[in-house]
Amino acid sequence: MVDAKDFASDVRPTWCAGCGNFGIWNALKKALAQTGLAPHDVMLVSGVGCGSKLPDYTTANGVMTLHGRTLAVATGARLANHGLKVICTHGDGDGYGEGGNHFVSAVRRNIGIVDIVQNNRVYGLTKGQYSPTSPHGFVPRTSPQGAIEEAFNPLAVALAAGGTFISRGWSGDLEHLTWLITEALGHRGYALVDVLQPCVTFNRKYSYDWLRPRVYKMQDQVGYDSSDKAAAFAKALEWGERIPIGIIYRTESRPAYEEMVPALEAGPLVKQPLRAKTLPEYEVLKQEYL
């Protein structure tokens, strides 16, 4: 029997007191335990940022890679061993800024990765620059004239790119976020879990008190069909006084990317025997492609 404590680490978090990452961290551990996954079944991949420290605080396979390259490395890990549950944990700057192209590509491929984006709408680790999801006009200490771009909408972009599991949670509701991550872990393809989480140091306006009265759960909305793409787009664009959380869109109509790769039909690559091609095989291939 797996328990959330099995994913505990001796390394203590250095996050600020009250940081929303604590809620995400605890929800992930609880979700992994509820799914029945053991630490050796899990591969955590992160980039650079406050949230990207999470693998260091968790007992599981883990790797911290370059800023914005989280999904690229996670894709390689998933293809090398799709017997592992591969989970990305990184911030909105890493995932939607530096890693924006990898984000769109992962959605299009429908690679079997759970992508947890800790969205605090600011660059926290580097002391408060505005991020892709910061609202227009947001004034951090490094940009006295405010953000001049419009905010990036990850849910709408994922829908437009053909996403098959698109969701939003928030770190102030541990039970709901645990459930949401559990649902994402059970999805066959790419699963986006965009988590609204306050940065108590560099984005104080975007606080627990600001979010709590605004968020509402999609599973409480009678008649909402999460397989209806048009309805999902409407919810993805909803923001302000009311902010939907939960599963915005889900479909199992598309196979996962790794299910379509012939080389993986015999099982994970790491468990397949090494086989060297003979010279005649290379000669055949050369004739075919020359």
pLDDT of residue 129: 87
Enumerate domains of the chain plus CATH numbers: 4-289 (3.40.50.970)
Report CA-CA distances (Å) from 145 to 73, 130, 142, 261. Answer: 36, 11, 9, 49
Residue among 212, 218, 118, 115 at smallest CA distance from 172: 212
pTM of the model: 0.92
DSSP conformational letter for 129: B
Question: What would the pLDDT profile of 213-246 be if each residue is shown by its tens digit?
Answer: 999 999 999 999 999 999 999 999 999 999 999 9
Is residue 259 helix, strand or coil?
helix
Confidence of residue 276 (pLDDT cuts 50, 70, 90): low
- Residue 115: pLDDT over 70: yes
Residue 279 has pLDDT above 70, yes or no: no
Q: What is the pLDDT of residue 281?
A: 65
Spell out the residues 6+ positions from residue 174 whose beta carbon is closer than 8 angstroms to its own: 23, 26, 27, 30
